[in-house]
């Protein structure tokens, strides 16, 4: 290290590895971690009450805004089920279900979603139409995944991967043969 000017800080030398101290320098000279984000205080408002947890979870799922995050047991023998925004990971909007002996209450944060709620989530997996066609072809005796893929491509029903077709056949048909 050398001082280039009295009013400047230390600047690393080009040949710092050949200096007498072996080139060792403290990492704090080069890297200062960014400051931690301060947690935002969120106020929750009671939105709705349910007789049991299953109905509350079904309501949260049907709204298609929330995805389950984690659950925590509370000191008063109740359980709090936390949910985050389904569309944006860093969205400050939150919700939780408070399950107690008397019922389940839904609390929503007073923070609104700062993004549109009509974001299109890309579908995954095979469509129901492709699955129905595979079922039909399998029942007619076409059991090889490659032949099924060729037939699906010829019919213009999208192109699932070979692994998707193979796994679908294993789960749908192979387990049924064991039970018979």
In DSSP notation, 54-92 reads HHHHHHHHHHTSEEEEEEEE-TTS-EEEEEEESS-TT--
In the 8-state DSSP scheme, what is residue 109?
E
DSSP bridge partners of 94: 84
Element (H, E) at 46: strand 44-50
Mean pLDDT of 73-88: 88
- Could you give the 3-state DSSP secondary structure of residue 7? coil
pLDDT bucket at 19, cuts 50 / 70 / 90: very low
User: Tens of pLDDT along 129-162?
Assistant: 899 999 999 999 988 999 999 999 898 887 788 8
Instruction: Say what the alpha-carbon torsion angle 63, 66, 71, 75 is, to the nearest 10 degrees.
Output: -70
pLDDT at 173 over 60: yes
pLDDT bucket at 1, cuts 50 / 70 / 90: very low
How far apart are alpha carbons 105 and 94 in whole angstroms? 14
Cβ-contact 49, 105 below 8 angstroms: yes
Mean pLDDT of 59-65: 86
pLDDT bucket at 91, cuts 50 / 70 / 90: confident
Cβ-contact 92, 42 below 8 angstroms: yes
User: Tens of pLDDT along 101-118?
Assistant: 889 999 998 888 887 776
In the 8-state DSSP scheme, what is residue 27?
G
Mean pLDDT of 39-63: 88
């Amino acid at each position: 290290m050398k001082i280039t000017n009295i009013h400047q800080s230390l600047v690393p030398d080009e040949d710092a590895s050949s200096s007498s101290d072996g080139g060792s320098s403290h990492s704090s000279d080069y890297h200062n971690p960014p400051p931690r984000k301060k947690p935002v205080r969120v106020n929750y408002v009671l939105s709705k009450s349910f007789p049991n947890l299953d109905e509350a979870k079904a309501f949260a799922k049907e709204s298609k805004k929330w995805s389950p995050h984690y659950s925590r047991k509370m000191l008063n023998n109740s359980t709090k089920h936390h949910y985050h925004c389904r569309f944006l990971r860093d969205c400050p909007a939150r919700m939780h279900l408070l399950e107690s002996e008397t019922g389940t209450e839904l609390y929503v944060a007073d923070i609104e979603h700062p993004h549109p709620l009509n974001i299109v989530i890309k579908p995954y997996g095979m469509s129901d139409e492709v699955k129905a066609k595979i079922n039909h072809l399998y029942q007619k005796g076409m059991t090889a995944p490659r032949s099924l893929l060729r037939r699906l491509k010829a019919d213009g029903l999208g192109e699932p991967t070979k692994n998707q077709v193979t796994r679908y056949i294993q789960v749908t048909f192979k387990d049924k043969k064991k039970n018979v």
